[in-house]
Each structure stands twice: as structure tokens, then as C-alpha cells.
């Protein structure tokens, strides 16, 4: 960074460009790198050699159509990243390396009403267990991505005033976890991470604009615009759950009436089925029954789909993304819910915006958020860190 307009800065930028391309795709051949970065093959050749000599990158032979292409990937043992996802009913942790390989993944149930402290302790334990199980070198851990199921101010790291996680309000999850683990922790809300996960590993490949709709106990959306998570200036973009569909609808926990959530989220939908199907029903149960043909459950899911579709239509008019990916428990319902969504979108969105929109189920299921957390850790990890080869020990880090 010494020389802000010089060739060496250009070279650095190109190095980073290559590293990013590789990290995003997991692994690429040199020719692919050249195509995606726009650099010439010769330059890529030089850069790859330089990165290989520096240990940032590994090249492994690949079988392909023509000459054997060498697959370039971030060297696996160069660094470890960890993803942690707090859900409403579970805690999920994944360990991966820079090569986009997931080394281990584990989930355990977690009572969301547990105190925040307890949650962080559990997370710490699970992380440690996974590190031990995979036998990776603790000092290689370069960063942690953390997902929380509620609005969070990414700048300050504070959980918003949340009726959603009682007892967690005002805590700073990233800081808590960093104290416990001793590495930089980057936090974002679960919908954004789901979007990132699907973009990198799942149903969003090759797309630059993606909206990830997560329906669980709440309804949230993660937005990727032009290849980047879009959080908005206040960090709370994507709150699709609380757009108003019916001004005189049911009262929502947010204080308004007729929010999308009151028509789609588990806590409002399940009671509808209690009289007929009993009180112990979960969303997963409803989905399962619907797939087995239960008409009540089918109807409920279709209704939910229609309402989500209305919300997506608004989203579509305003943002015009090229793809919407549905995640959360509800995605398991497949066409049972996607059909009504598409129908609603076609009905309420302006035609030119709806025409080019594809609505797909998530490809990662419940793993989208952890994997997204992993991806967050990867993306937040300074590229310069990689390039210097300087092993990132503990961490002041936060700026």
C-alpha cells in the first residue's frame, strides 16, 4: 500500500483478484482464472507461480478434456475458518479450510431461551470438540463467522432490540466469542449468511443478485447485490418479515398488524393446525404431513406460499433480483410451497420484473447458514493476510 498509484499496487490488486476468484469458486484452473478475472493467461501463469511459491495456493492435476488442467485452490493447511450458527432450536458449527472444503460439521439442539452466556459457552465447547476431532492446528484458525437469528448492527456488533432472542438483547456476540476463542469473529444475521451460503455453495451459483428468503420461526431475507451482501447503511436491510400485507391483519410481535410474518412464520401458522392436528406439531411435521398428502397441511402451506409470494412480489418490484432462493424448514416442502409463491409473484409483481425471476429451493437445507458463516469468515479475512503469508496469531484485528 506504500505506493497508491504504481504498478506494484496494480500487481497487488491482481494478486488479490486471483485469490478472490479462487476462493469464491473453491478451485479453478488457470484458464478459468484468466477468464473470470479478465487477466491474460500469461499474467495468471506468473501470479499463480508466485502464489504457489508463497504457499498461499496449491496446484493439483486434474483430468479434463484437453491437456490436463491444473486445478488451483487455496492451500488447505494455510488456514482454517470456522462457522458458527445460532438457530432458534439448534447450534451448528462447521470447520473448513481455505480451499472451500468443509472438514467437519456438527449440530446440537440449543434452547433459544437459554441465557446468552450459556449459548456462547456451548458454542465454545462445540468448536473445541470439532477442532479436536479433526485434529487441525489451533493456531491455524484464522477467523470465525458467526450467525445470529436476529437483527444485528454489524458495525457495533450489538444485537438489536430483539424480542426474538429474549435475554440476548444488547449483547455483543462477536466479542463474546472472540474472548472465548481468541480469534477474530465476524458476525451477521442468519438470513444474510444463508444468502451467502447459497450463493457460494448452493443454488445461487453464477448469479450476482440473489434474495434468500428464510422462513422459520420468523421470516427474513438476505440480499446479495452485485456479488456482495447488502446490509444497508443501518445493517437491517432484508426485513421482509415485517412488510405490511394487511393493515388490519393479525397483530405481530413487532407491534404492527398484518406483517408477512403473521401469515408465514411458524409461530403464527402452527396454531391454525392445532385443533385438527394436535399441539405438538412443528413446521417440519407440517411439511412432512403435507408431502404425505395431508390436505390440511397442504392448504396451510399453500396459503403460506401465497403470502410469501406477495412479499416477494414487493421485493421483486423494488429490487428486481434475478433469483430468489427459499430456505428454512419450509423449503423442504418443495413445489407445494414454491408453486403458490410463483403464482403470487406472477400476480402481484409487474410483469417485466417477474418475467426474469427464478424462484428456487435452497440447495443446502439447514446447512446454508453455517456454510454462509464459513464463507463470511473467508471473505472477511483480509486478503493481505493471505498474501503476506503472515500467520495470523491472536487478534487485535477489529478496526
Tell how far CA 387 is from the center of its chain.
Answer: 25
Nearest C-alpha neighbor of 124 from the set 199, 168, 183, 66 = 183
How many of the chain's residues bind a copy of itself (CB under 8 A)?
Answer: 79
- Consecutive H or E run containing 212: strand 210-215
87 binds, among DNA, a copy of itself, none (CB under 5 to 8 A by kind): none
List CB contacts of 236: < 8 A, sequence separation 6 or more: 151, 153, 160
The three cell numbers of residue 112 are 433459544
Tell how far CA 260 is from the center of its chain.
Answer: 22
Within 100-159, which residues bind a copy of itself (CB under 8 A)?
Answer: 151, 153
**Under rule CB under 8 A, residue 360 binds a copy of itself:** no
**Under rule CB under 7 A, residue 42 binds DNA:** yes
166 binds, among DNA, a copy of itself, none (CB under 5 to 8 A by kind): none
Partners of 251 in the β-ladder: 257
390 binds, among a copy of itself, DNA, none (CB under 5 to 8 A by kind): none
SS3 6: coil
Which of 98, 144, 187, 229 binds a copy of itself (CB under 8 A)? It is 229
* Measured distance CA(213)–CA(210) in Å, rounded: 10
**Under rule CB under 8 A, residue 351 binds a copy of itself:** yes
**Under rule CB under 8 A, residue 59 binds a copy of itself:** no
Which of 22, 84, 112, 240 binds a copy of itself (CB under 8 A)? It is 240
**Under rule CB under 7 A, residue 36 binds DNA:** no
Task: Using the minimum distance from each CB to DNA, give the nearer residue, 75 or 171.
Answer: 75
**Under rule CB under 7 A, residue 379 binds DNA:** no
Give me the least distance between CB of 207 and DNA, in Å please: 22
Partners of 360 in the β-ladder: 325
Which of 66, 206, 233, 351 binds DNA (CB under 7 A)? It is 66
3-state helix, strand, coil split of the chain in percent (to 5) is 45, 20, 30
**Under rule CB under 8 A, residue 24 binds a copy of itself:** yes
Q: Of the listed pieces 84-92, 241-249, 262-270, 292-300, which binds a copy of itself according to CB under 8 A? A: 241-249
**Under rule CB under 7 A, residue 3 binds DNA:** yes
Which of 28, 200, 289, 330 binds a copy of itself (CB under 8 A)? It is 200
Give the DSSP per-residue string, 226-274: TTEEE--TTS-TT-GGGSBS-TTSPBPTTS-BSBTHHHHSHHHHHHHHH
| C-beta separation of 80 from 88 below 8 A | no
* Measured distance CA(352)–CA(343) in Å, rounded: 15
Q: Of the listed pieces 68-76, 102-110, 229-237, 282-290, which binds a copy of itself according to CB under 8 A? A: 229-237
Give me the least distance between CB of 227 and DNA, in Å please: 21
Nearest C-alpha neighbor of 144 from the set 111, 184, 88 = 184
Which of 16, 32, 209, 303 binds DNA (CB under 7 A)? It is 32
CA dihedral sign, ordered 56, 184, 211, 103 = positive
66 binds, among DNA, a copy of itself, none (CB under 5 to 8 A by kind): DNA
* Measured distance CA(375)–CA(23) in Å, rounded: 9
Which of 21, 22, 48, 375 binds DNA (CB under 7 A)? It is 48
Helices (H) and strands (E) in the chain, counts: 14, 15
Give me the least distance between CB of 377 and a copy of itself, in Å please: 11
Partners of 223 in the β-ladder: 211, 230
**Under rule CB under 8 A, residue 163 binds a copy of itself:** no
Within 180-209, which residues bind DNA (CB under 7 A)?
Answer: none
Task: Using the minimum distance from each CB to DNA, give the nearer residue, 6 or 276.
Answer: 6
Task: Using the minimum distance from each CB to a copy of itself, give the nearer residue, 87 or 197.
Answer: 197
**Under rule CB under 7 A, residue 174 binds DNA:** no
317 binds, among DNA, a copy of itself, none (CB under 5 to 8 A by kind): a copy of itself
List CB contacts of 231: < 8 A, sequence separation 6 or more: 154, 188, 192, 237, 238
Taking each helix axis from N to C end, the angle separating 283-292 and 295-319, rounded to the nearest 10 degrees, works out to 110
Which of 32, 121, 209, 343 binds a copy of itself (CB under 8 A)? It is 209
Interface with DNA (CB under 7 A)? 3, 5-8, 10-11, 14, 29-32, 39-43, 45-49, 61, 63-70
Amino acid at each position: 500500500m506504500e505506493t497508491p498509484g504504481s504498478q506494484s499496487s496494480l500487481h497487488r490488486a491482481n494478486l488479490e483478484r486471483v485469490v478472490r476468484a479462487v476462493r469464491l469458486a473453491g478451485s479453478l484452473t488457470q484458464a478459468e482464472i484468466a477468464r473470470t478475472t479478465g487477466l491474460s493467461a500469461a499474467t495468471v501463469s506468473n501470479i499463480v507461480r508466485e502464489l504457489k511459491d508463497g504457499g498461499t495456493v496449491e496446484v493439483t492435476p486434474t483430468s479434463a478434456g484437453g491437456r490436463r488442467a491444473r486445478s488451483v485452490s487455496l492451500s488447505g493447511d494455510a488456514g482454517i475458518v470456522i462457522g458458527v450458527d445460532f438457530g432458534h432450536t439448534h447450534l451448528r458449527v462447521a470447520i473448513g479450510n481455505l480451499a472451500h472444503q468443509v472438514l467437519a460439521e456438527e449440530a446440537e439442539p440449543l434452547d433459544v431461551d437459554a441465557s446468552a452466556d450459556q449459548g456462547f459457552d456451548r458454542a465454545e465447547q462445540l468448536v473445541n470438540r470439532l477442532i479436536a476431532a479433526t485434529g487441525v492446528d489451533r493456531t491455524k484458525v484464522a477467523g470465525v463467522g458467526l450467525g445470529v437469528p436476529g437483527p444485528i448492527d454489524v458495525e457495533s456488533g450489538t444485537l438489536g432490540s430483539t424480542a426474538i432472542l429474549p435475554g440476548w438483547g444488547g449483547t455483543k456476540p462477536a466479542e463474546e466469542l472472540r474472548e472465548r476463542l481468541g480469534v477474530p469473529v465476524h458476525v451477521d444475521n442468519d438470513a444474510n449468511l444463508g444468502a451467502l451460503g447459497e450463493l457460494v455453495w448452493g443454488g445461487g451459483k453464477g448469479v450476482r443478485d440473489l434474495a434468500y428468503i428464510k422462513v422459520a420461526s420468523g421470516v427474513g431475507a438476505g440480499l446479495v447485490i452485485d456479488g456482495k451482501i447488502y446490509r444497508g447503511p443501518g445493517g437491517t436491510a432484508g426485513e421482509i418479515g415485517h412488510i405490511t400485507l394487511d393493515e388490519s391483519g393479525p397483530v405481530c410481535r413487532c407491534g404492527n398488524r398484518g406483517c408477512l410474518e403473521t401469515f408465514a412464520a411458524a409461530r403464527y401458522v402452527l396454531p391454525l393446525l392445532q385443533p385438527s392436528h394436535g399441539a405438538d406439531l412443528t413446521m417440519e411435521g407440517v411439511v412432512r404431513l403435507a408431502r404425505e398428502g395431508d390436505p390440511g397441511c397442504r392448504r396451510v402451506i399453500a396459503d403460506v406460499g401465497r403470502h410469501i409470494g406477495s412479499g416477494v412480489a414487493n421485493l421483486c418490484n423494488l429490487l428486481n433480483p434475478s433469483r430468489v432462493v427459499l430456505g428454512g424448514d419450509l423449503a423442504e416442502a418443495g413445489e407445494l410451497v414454491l408453486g403458490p409463491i410463483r403464482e403470487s409473484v406472477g400476480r402481484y409483481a409487474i410483469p417485466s420484473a417477474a418475467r426474469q425471476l427464478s424462484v428456487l429451493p435452497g440447495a443446502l437445507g439447514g446447512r446454508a447458514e453455517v456454510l454462509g458463516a464459513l464463507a463470511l469468515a473467508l471473505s472477511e479475512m483480509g486478503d493481505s493476510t493471505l498474501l503476506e503469508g503472515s500467520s495470523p496469531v491472536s487478534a487485535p484485528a477489529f478496526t
